Homo-oligomer: A and B are copies of this chain.
Amino acid sequence: MARRQAPGTRERILRVASRLFQENGVRAVGMQQVVEEVGLGKSLLYREFDGKDDLVAAWLRESDAAWWAAVDAALAPHDGDPAGQLLALVELVAAAAASPGFHGCVFYNTSSEFRDDDHPARQEALAHLRRMRGRLETLAGAAGAAHPGALADELMLVVGGMYATGAALGPDGPVRAGVAAAGSAIARHCATGH
C-alpha cells in the first residue's frame, strides 16, 4: 500500500525538544530550530503534536514522569525511614541544582515564562509543583512531624531556593547549605516528646 511510518519519531522529537527547552528556555526556541535539529520535516512534528503548546506540555509531562522515577530510585534505599527519605529527596534536588549546565527547574522556569493560567504548559508545571509539595507532606506525616504541612512548606522553600540560586549563583552558592538546612528543619519538626 504505502511506506510505513518510521517508529520512534515522537520520542526523537521529544528528546531534542527537551534538550533545547532545558538549555535555552521555551520562548527562545523556535519550531524551525526543533525540526532542523531533529533532521525531520515540519509535517512530522505537527502530525505528532498539535502545536508548540502541545509539544511543551508533552515535554513537561515526560519530565514529570522522569522526575518521579528518579525520586523513587533515590528513596528506595531508605524504605521504612520516612525522615531519611525526606533528606534523600532534598539531596536529589541538591545534586540536580549543582550539576554542570544546570539552568533552573524546568517547572518553575516554564511557569514563569507562561503567565496565562489557561496555558497548558503552565498547568502542567504548576501541577508538578503541587505534586511535589504533596509528596513532601505525605513523607513528613509518615516521619512523624508535628505539623506535616509546615515541614513540607519549609522543605519546599529549601528546594525552591536551591533551584533558584543553583541556576543564578552556581553550584558553590547557597545550594551547599540546602541539605543541612533541610536536615535541621526535619529534626526540628520531628523532635520526639512534647
Contact = CB atoms under 8 A, between A and B. Distances in A.
Interface residues of A, number: 47
A188 B184 contact: yes
Contacts of A23: 115
| Number of copies of this protein chain within its complex | 2
B133 A174 contact: yes
B125 A168 contact: yes
B153 A160 contact: no
Interface string A92-124: 000000000001110111011101000000000
A169 B130 contact: yes
A25 interface: yes
Given A103-B112, A185-B181, A162 B157 contact: yes
Contact of A160 (B27, B152, B165): B165
Nearest to A176: B153
A86 interface: no
B174 A153 contact: yes
